Structure 1
């Protein structure tokens, strides 16, 4: 009986141990299965990475390589394992100076290198991160290489474009200045340096409106600044305007300014093309002067006289002021031309102009109306005894001239006055007609006296 019980206990123990062994085997199989799936998942992830990834030991031997590296080199993965990394990746017999792997093992830091790799046929950004074992000893690195060929190509295209734009800008005869939304200068070309007298280094980062423009333009700019920062809109955008600018030496000069707006890095900027129009303005002044000036005498011509006289007329009407118009005819000009030649006649006209300038004030408007006719617009005066005082002064100057110059002819004039009455205002044309009539009456009397 005892033997039977002992046998049963032995059988039960064996069964129990068998169950436990089966359970252990099952657990181990499950662990192995999980490890297998984890490894497979890791390998799939490893190969799904588009960047080149390799694990390289401290002797520069490739121990692991992803699919991207094999495909890029046109090799089988198993053929890469065991090869020296610099021979297959860099195509060198030893690690190149820029090798991030070598540098990472030297100072225990992650290293980067951006290079063109002939073997990989492109520009790559390499990184190498040190690996250590449980004891803290270096075992190698994980090296990752990202293909940046497209990025580099785009950068090169952008640099070339910028270089062309800069070359065009710097060869421009016009100044080109770019400012950001707050008016700070971000670009200043060679023509701007020459035009304003500043070196680029002196103005970059400064507010343009604080020193290059007039106070009026500066105040207007700051008043409208918030609107431009938000919308890029301003009354001068897309227009060409004329204004005065200031050089480094403080000289003001006229410019023609064209402004455009654009967005850069999410902020509104404006570019101004500036042309120095000093020469043009001087030419315009010359042309204007020529259009209102009698070429022979330098006095105003008929159009110039009426242009200025109308302005003085409006002032007199508004202020209830007085003025007078003196109309004169140079006597015997035809006789001078006939007897002594047209050169003498021209000289007589120029002499008469000189005498009139000496006789009348700078504020008075003196003009040669054509032929032998002259007119003087005598501005604001007291009126009392004007005609007598003016004619006495004029005749004295004519007499002095005739005595001193001793020409072959004597200068004299016939004249007529017309006065503006603010109580009964007459137009310039009416006053001219009245003075002309009185001048002819004076000429008749002179002929009768002769």
Structure 2
């Protein structure tokens, strides 16, 4: 069999057992090496089967293989057969310094085997790492020292809405809204120059990011840097926290707003009232507190059920919102109790006008799923600074005045001063 001349450094392998097969696999991965032939007396040797897959000439006689390749005197012969006659014959046909046999080949085979094992372990580790990167729930983005994206895993694609091919090589600032987009290159240059950064090494920093469709969303970023091959790279692990933020906002809202009417609850109301009182002290203006208790609500709740009662409270809240200014506040502080803060109300008469407006708003019947119902309202009024100087005292006085309104026939309003007159008159 004549061996055709080809490109690559010529190699001949004598012995196709495990060592020969390992050598062959290693050489086939190197484009600069050309295996001319492989020989073994065992027709079932693993190296021979592998050589046939690669279309490499196979011989069952080592001497015959050497003579078939004699036109390549520069060939390196690896004799794994332990047959010194083969080594001697190779010495006649090829340069002695290109012949490896005996202990030399054994050591080389062990080295190749170890390297192959290490290579396999590295490949498995690389495969595992890539599998983790592909399947991890967090986005992983790698950029170079110029800010250009070099890595963008599937989770990042899902988060930002960009396929990987659209972002590779682009500046990472494309994923940022203003003003961070315009400032980002300056951040990188400053870090390269000074080594200082407000982001690197900080776990879970909250930043704003931008999707392909232009939506801006909150993101958690953990960024780090690494050096590889003399170059600096930055790795960002990102997590879309939009759902978490919405949940936090919902929890915060529920902590300050009535779940049924979406009006401020007692805690938020007191904060608002305290703020209004402090502002009134500085500006020397009046603030009115109106405490309203629905008349006839319990009867509707007992006869038509709690669902009807809840629906009524929602409708009442809607009407009340339409009766006050945008600067004023209405809150639900109990089952059928509502409190109002009227800022810069001026004269007491203005507070009474609002109270009468609220009572009038309740006059029209409510349609509760086909059932017509009516309720009224008893209202107590207190004024800062006329009646009290502190928020809690104003609420207490308005509450007491409301009970006087109920005792006076309901569906009307009474000022705290009137309660004092009744008490003193008694």
Same fold (TM over 0.5): yes
Match of 2:266 among 294, 298, 302: 302
Aligned-pair CA distance for 1:208: 0.9
Tell me: CA distance 1:431–1:223, structure 2 relative to 1, closer, same or farther (3 Å). Answer: farther
Cα distance between partner residues in 2 of 1:393 and 1:424:
22
Match of 1:240 among 199, 204, 215: 204
Matching of residues 400-415 of structure 1 within 5 Å: 400-401=364-365, 410-415=374-379
Which structure has the larger Rg?
1
Cα distance between partner residues in 2 of 1:63 and 1:338:
109
Kept in 2: contact 1:64–1:81 (CA 8 A): no
Alignment-derived partner of residue 184 in structure 1: 148
Match of 1:169 among 98, 119, 133: 133
Aligned-pair CA distance for 1:321: 6.2
Cα distance between partner residues in 1 of 2:363 and 2:398:
24
Aligned-pair CA distance for 1:374: 0.6
Kept in 2: contact 1:352–1:411 (CA 8 A): no
Aligned-pair CA distance for 1:375: 0.8
Alignment-derived partner of residue 392 in structure 2: 429
Tell me: CA distance 1:424–1:348, structure 2 relative to 1, closer, same or farther (3 Å). Answer: closer
Aligned-pair CA distance for 1:187: 0.6
Alignment-derived partner of residue 335 in structure 2: 371
Q: Does 1:80 align with 2:90?
A: yes
Aligned-pair CA distance for 1:267: 3.8
TM-score by length of 2: 0.64
Tell me: CA distance 1:406–1:207, structure 2 relative to 1, closer, same or farther (3 Å). Answer: closer
Tell me: CA distance 1:238–1:65, structure 2 relative to 1, closer, same or farther (3 Å). Answer: same
Tell me: CA distance 1:242–1:273, structure 2 relative to 1, closer, same or farther (3 Å). Answer: same
Cα distance between partner residues in 1 of 2:131 and 2:204:
24
TM-score by length of 1: 0.61
C-alpha distance after superposition, 1:289-348 (max 9, x if no partner):
333332333333223433454555566667666543221111243454556655554454
Aligned-pair CA distance for 1:250: 0.9
Alignment-derived partner of residue 399 in structure 1: 363
Cα distance between partner residues in 1 of 2:339 and 2:218:
35
Q: Does 1:440 align with 2:403?
A: yes
Kept in 2: contact 1:180–1:270 (CA 8 A): yes
Matching of residues 344-383 of structure 1 within 5 Å: 345-379=309-343
Q: Does 1:60 align with 2:78?
A: no
Question: Which runs of 5 or more residues in structure 2 are unaligned?
Answer: 1-65, 413-426
- What number of residue pairs does the alignment pair up? 339
Kept in 2: contact 1:73–1:120 (CA 8 A): no
Kept in 1: contact 2:208–2:218 (CA 8 A): yes
Aligned-pair CA distance for 1:388: 3.2
Matching of residues 185-264 of structure 1 within 5 Å: 185-209=149-173, 211-218=174-181, 221-222=184-185, 224-226=187-189, 228-229=191-192, 234-236=197-199, 237-264=201-228
Instruction: Single out whichever of 294-303 and 339-348 deviates more from structure 2.
Output: 339-348
Instruction: Single out whichever of 157-166 and 312-321 deviates more from structure 2.
Output: 312-321
Match of 1:238, SS? Answer: coil
Superposition RMSD in Å: 4.5
Question: Which runs of 5 or more residues in structure 1 are unaligned?
Answer: 1-55, 91-118, 125-146
Cα distance between partner residues in 2 of 1:231 and 1:164:
36
Aligned-pair CA distance for 1:72: 6.8
Kept in 1: contact 2:388–2:394 (CA 8 A): no
Match of 1:293 among 257, 279, 303: 257
Aligned-pair CA distance for 1:398: 1.9
Tell me: CA distance 1:311–1:271, structure 2 relative to 1, closer, same or farther (3 Å). Answer: farther
Kept in 1: contact 2:367–2:373 (CA 8 A): no
Alignment-derived partner of residue 423 in structure 2: none
Cα distance between partner residues in 2 of 1:158 and 1:445:
89
Kept in 2: contact 1:175–1:192 (CA 8 A): yes
